[in-house]
Amino acid sequence: MRLKFPQFLMLMLMIGGLILGGCSTEKVASNTSPASTAASKATEASSNSTAEAAISQTSSESIPGMKDLPRLEGKANVVITVKGAPITIEVDGVNAPITAGNFVDLVQKGVYDGLVFHRVVRDPQPFVVQGGDPQSKDPKVPANRLGTGGYIDPKIGTERRIPLEIKPEGAEEPVYSQTIARKPLLTHKQGAVAMARSQLPDSASSQFYFALADLGFLDGSYAVFGYVTDGFDVVNQIHQGDRIDSAKITKGAQNLKSTK
């Protein structure tokens, strides 16, 4: 169905809100927003294809800092409890090892316990439920600051950031550090769990979101790393300001390979 112009504008605002609500506090040029990214995908396709092929064959050691990040070598189940009700996520480290490893590592560290879902968008159409800003554990932090924070890794003393990691269909390895024009293997279907970020591709840290509907226009721009397999009704009942009671690994913890 072709979007009418007002619907297109609303769509761009929703995408822009997602990127501005990402985990980085850095200021970046507005012309790199997801709205412009989505609008220019068609023109990027030919130029991206060569770069994708090169990056997808690049070893993790050639991307600065990646070898020091946690990896999930396989799959794991994580149960997030909100207002006493469980949400089960199958986390896919087969197709998104760095993104999945980062999430499972933060769950294991208890980072998500007590954090707020600071952004919930259901109108004019279902979009996302977003949380994971460590600042939200402190009720004194102003609401307008939520969505700007990430996980401060005590080993490095700064915010841990992970590269944008998207595996195209048919590829053997993910593409890193850039958006792609090809269809990804892990898509934004309803129930997808993906990382929020700022305009910079390699700026995701701890913030994540649930897709409340099929959001194919985000494919290739944000890293999906898993899907809700049970409890999507709970996700649909989350309101802005609701807190995560707890997040626990219930299966596949042995697949997490963390650096010491």
List, for residues 246-255, the tens digit of each pLDDT value.
999 999 999 9
**pLDDT of the residue at 39:** 38
Among residues 223, 11, 196, which one has the least CA distance to residue 96?
223
End-to-end CA distance of the chain: 51
Q: What's the rounded Cα separation, in Å, for the pair 253 and 114?
A: 21
223 is written with which tokens? 């890293």
Instruction: Name the 3-class secondary structure at 63.
Output: coil
Residue ranges of the chain with pLDDT lower than 70?
Answer: 1-64, 260
Residue carrying structure tokens 């700064």: 158
| Spatial CB neighbours of 87, under 8 Å, sequence gap ≥ 6 | 79, 80, 81, 228, 230, 231, 232, 234, 235
CA distances from 179 to 11, 58, 72, 85 (A): 19, 16, 22, 35
Kindly list the structural domains of the chain, giving each domain's residue range(s) and its CATH number in brackets, ordered by start. 5-60+73-257 (2.40.100.10)
Identify any residues that bridge with 165 across adjacent strands, giving them in sequence order.
Answer: 176
Q: How many CB atoms lie within 10 A of CB 140?
A: 5
Phi and psi at residue 155, to the nearest 5°: -70, -30
Residue carrying structure tokens 């129930």: 191
**pLDDT of the residue at 239:** 97
pLDDT digits (tens, 9 = 90+) for 188-208: 999 999 999 999 999 999 999
67 is written with which tokens? 């070898």
Instruction: Name the 3-class secondary structure at 151.
Output: coil
SS3 content of the chain, % helix, strand, coil (to 5): 30, 25, 45
Q: How many CB atoms lie within 10 A of CB 228?
A: 20
**pLDDT of the residue at 45:** 45
Residue carrying structure tokens 């009720």: 139
List alpha helices for the chain, DSSP H. Answer: 5-20, 34-39, 41-56, 97-108, 232-235
**pLDDT of the residue at 54:** 40
Instruction: Name the 3-class secondary structure at 168.
Output: strand
Amino acid at 1: M
pLDDT digits (tens, 9 = 90+) for 64-101: 678 889 999 999 999 999 999 999 999 999 999 999 99
Give yes or no for a contact between 75 and 93, defined as CB atoms under 8 angstroms apart.
Answer: yes
